Amino acid sequence: MKYYIGIDPSLTGCAVAVVDQDGQFKESRRFGNKLKGMERLVFVRDQVKNILNDYNWKNQIKAIGIEGYARGAKNWREEAGELGGALRILLYENKIKYIDIAPGQLKKFATGKGNAPKDQILLDVYRKWKIAFRSHDEADAFVAAQIARAMFEMNNGENEGTPEILVYEAEVLKKLKVGA
């Protein structure tokens, strides 16, 4: 079995979600913390690493979708950049393919609108995939995992307009690139 993982790299509530190659939800975890500085970076990195180990990352994880940076953010952006860098280094060093997904692209894939509010994402995730999440972080991670799966299992959006992929989902996929 191959798995796709999504990561919402939040400083205080990082979340990870896992789907299989058919898009079936396997699990999600959110690990909140009140740590600062290097302790926080190491904690989050280690939590993500533990999940990757659970899915035998060298053999069973096909790709990871990671929510990108909120470039217009005014608060904590340097710290968020450090966390994003730490996670991307982890993936790069272990030769795991990953896809950087801008927040607007993630929202559009979930809702059809790149500027949708967080509550709309929770609602549309439930409507599309019939999964209710307790946090926005977990819902975002789930959508990131579904984007990674679509990149590799659904021909990079070439199936535009088919029942498997919606037109606005295909638009998002065409703009994404794979790293590592």
DSSP string across 95-112 = T--EEEE-HHHHHHHHHS
Q: For 45-67, how does the pLDDT look when each residue is reduced to its tens digit (9 = 90+)?
A: 999 999 999 987 667 999 999 99
CATH 3.30.420.10 fits 3-179, yes or no: yes
d(CA 94, CA 61): 11
| Least confident segment among 58-67, 118-127, 163-172 | 163-172
Q: For 73-104, how does the pLDDT look when each residue is reduced to its tens digit (9 = 90+)?
A: 666 677 888 999 999 999 999 889 999 999 99
Report CA torsion sign: 28, 12, 98, 180.
negative
Given this model, what pLDDT does residue 161 score?
43
Cβ pair 41, 71 in contact under 8 A: no
Q: For 6-46, how does the pLDDT look when each residue is reduced to its tens digit (9 = 90+)?
A: 999 988 899 999 999 999 999 999 999 999 999 999 999 99
d(CA 149, CA 161): 17
Average pLDDT for 112-133: 94
User: Does the pLDDT of residue 160 top 50, yes or no?
Assistant: no
Q: For the chain, which residues make up each domain, given as ranges?
A: 3-179
User: Does the pLDDT of residue 123 top 50, yes or no?
Assistant: yes
